[in-house]
Amino acid sequence: MNTLIAIGSLGILVLLLEIFGARKTIIPVTIIGLLATLGISLGGFSTESGPASFFNNMIVEDKYSMGFSSLFILLTIFIVLMSADFYNKEQKKLPDYITVKLLLLFGGVAMVSFGNLATYFVGIEILSVSLYVLAASKPENIKSNEAGMKYFLMGAFASGFLLFGIALIYGATGSFDMEVIHQAGMSAGVEDWFYIGVAMVSVAMFFKIAAAPFHLWAPDVYQGSPTLTTALMSTLAKVIAIGGFYRLLNGMYGNFSDGFITTIIVVAILSMTIGNIMALRQDNVKRMLAYSGISHAGFMLMALLAIPNGAGNLLYYATAYALAGIAAFAVIIAVTKNKDDENIISFNGLGKKNPVMALTLTLALLSMAGIPILAGFFGKVFLFGQMLEMGYTTLVIIAVVNSIISLGYYFKLILAMYTKSSTEEMPATSSIYTVVAVIATIINLAIGLFPDFILTMMA
């Protein structure tokens, strides 16, 4: 609860600072505020004994919510750090952007600490509206407009599905409260439309995490949005959506029917396969990472099969994926700063021009590909191990094959950096991108060396 209040107040504080003409202090204040919030959230692990509920169960805080909230806050810190330089041509709008990002975080935290479907819906709407705004935040750019519009139209549909699903669940159980819904979901006599409701909610969430075949918006929106927004979508927004989805299913529904399990498996397989195969053909780096994100969504969906024991592995995978994404995007923003597009050609010769950035991007991509000793490797191993334990051998084999395919496009970028030469000068950029990329990479390596830290969080 403290986390939510802190984030909300921080957002308002940023607006107040602007009113009182202290624009220069916004970013430092936000960073300090978020660090303090991260402290509160992580501190909860040592003091909290069991779940705590607030406002008639509207909000329930437990280890799951605190673990994921901490991850979201960490990612927001990185994104806010990069905002200072990214928006330096639009200083006037900076407070708006920061506030929108804090509100987005607020929505995200609500989505992993809800005790009531109403909170969940409000959370996801705050998240989505913030994302629509950020996607379209370059009004003079036609592509950004297209991205915002596409995302809004598709997102509105998904929200409709979600709301309709929630209504059906309410119809079947007579309550929005997760406790009541859980009881009803576990009992045999629940009405049929409960399951229809669950299916519709799932469709909405598949859309939000960009799992195939609900992924069609992702490449265009990722490509068209300003790069920092793409970074936010592919890291923060994606892990929020998957974290919320897991909690939703975990909360209302204990024993899946075979049909539902099959659906998740099929969606997971489709996502990883389609994402990987399409990524192989891309020349635009943002688009490539969009498809790579689709395939990672497929991997993360596997954790849903392990409900109620998949939380630790999901958090680990999400952290590894998001940190690698942040590091990768920090480099991408720096490299493509004054370019019209993000073609892979821009990365030619980066290994010579800026070895530190090239190295961090390489490590980030290797982490996503699942090469030891980076965190992405452990994420995959833990997930695959759990799936094998549960007997999903075919799924694991397909996932392994997909991991091999993914090497193809990650290495395309690595090869461009090290083997091609370019006469173009590297644009002069703020050192903050290097700092963010290096810190994210160090955390990535650290959780690779000490995975216990995250895994035991959820235990």
| CB-nearer residue toward another protein: 73 or 458 | 458
**What value, to the nearest 5°, has the Cα angle with vertex 265 and ends 368 and 184?**
120
**236 vs 268 by CB, closer to another protein:** 268
Cβ 415 to another protein shortest distance, Å: 6
- 40 or 327: CB nearest another protein: 327
Residues β-bridged to residue 198 = none
- Residue 208's nearest CA partner among 309, 305, 286, 107 is 107
3-state secondary structure of 60: strand
Nearer to another protein, 195 or 299 (CB): 299
Supply the minimum distance, in Å, between the C-beta of residue 28 and another protein: 32
Which residue lies nearer to another protein by CB, 389 or 424? Answer: 389
Give the CA distances from residue 453 to residues 113, 239, 444, 456, 459, in Å, rounded to whole numbers and listed in that order.
21, 19, 12, 6, 11
Residue 280, token pair as written in the block: 């192989």
Nearer to another protein, 2 or 456 (CB): 456
Q: Residue 210, by phi and psi: left (phi above 0), alpha (psi -120 to 50) or beta?
A: left
Strand partners, 59: 54, 114
Q: Shortest approach of another protein to residue 44 CB, angstroms?
A: 21
Q: Minimum distance between the CB of residue 388 and another protein, rounded to whole angstroms?
A: 5
Tokens for 111, please give them: 């989505």
Assess contact for 395 and 387: CB atoms under 8 A.
yes
Q: How far is the CB of 353 from another protein (least distance, A)?
A: 13
Minimum distance from CB of 47 to another protein (Å)? 22
- Taking the least distance from each CB to another protein, the nearer of 94 and 269 is 269
Phi, psi of 191 (to 5 degrees): -65, 155
Smallest separation, CB 391 to another protein (Å):
10
Q: What is the smallest separation between the CB atom of 191 and another protein, expressed in angstroms? A: 39
Tell the smallest beta-carbon distance from residue 426 to another protein (Å): 17
Burial of 389 (C-beta count, 10 Å sphere; 0-12/13-18/19+): exposed
120 vs 347 by CB, closer to another protein: 347
CB of 343 to another protein, least distance (A): 19
Q: Which is nearer to another protein, 368 or 396 (CB)?
A: 396
Place of tokens 């970028």: 413
> Which phi and psi angles does 291 have, rounded to 5°?
-65, -40
Q: Which two tokens stand for residue 331?
A: 């480099």
CA 425 and chain centroid, separation: 33
Q: Extract long-range pairs of 370-375: CB within 8 Å, 24+ residues apart.
A: 370/403, 370/406, 372/448, 373/445, 373/448, 373/449, 374/320, 374/324, 374/444, 374/445, 374/448, 375/316, 375/319, 375/320, 375/323, 375/324, 375/444, 375/445, 375/447, 375/448, 375/451
Nearer to another protein, 152 or 299 (CB): 299
Cβ-based burial of 373 (10 A; exposed 0-12, middle 13-18, buried ≥19) = exposed
Site of interaction with another protein (CB under 8 A): 366, 371-373, 377, 381-382, 384-385, 388-389, 396-397, 400, 403-404, 407-408, 411, 415, 418-419, 450-452, 455-456, 459
**Nearer CB in complex with another protein: 23/353:** 353
Q: Which two tokens stand for residue 123?
A: 């959370």
Measure the CA–CA gap between 46 and 33, rounded to whole angstroms: 21
CA distance 8 to 109: 11
Q: Shortest Cβ distance from residue 299 to another protein (Å)?
A: 14
In the complex with another protein, the residue whose CB is nearer, 414 or 437, is 414
Smallest distance, Å, CB 352 to another protein? Answer: 9
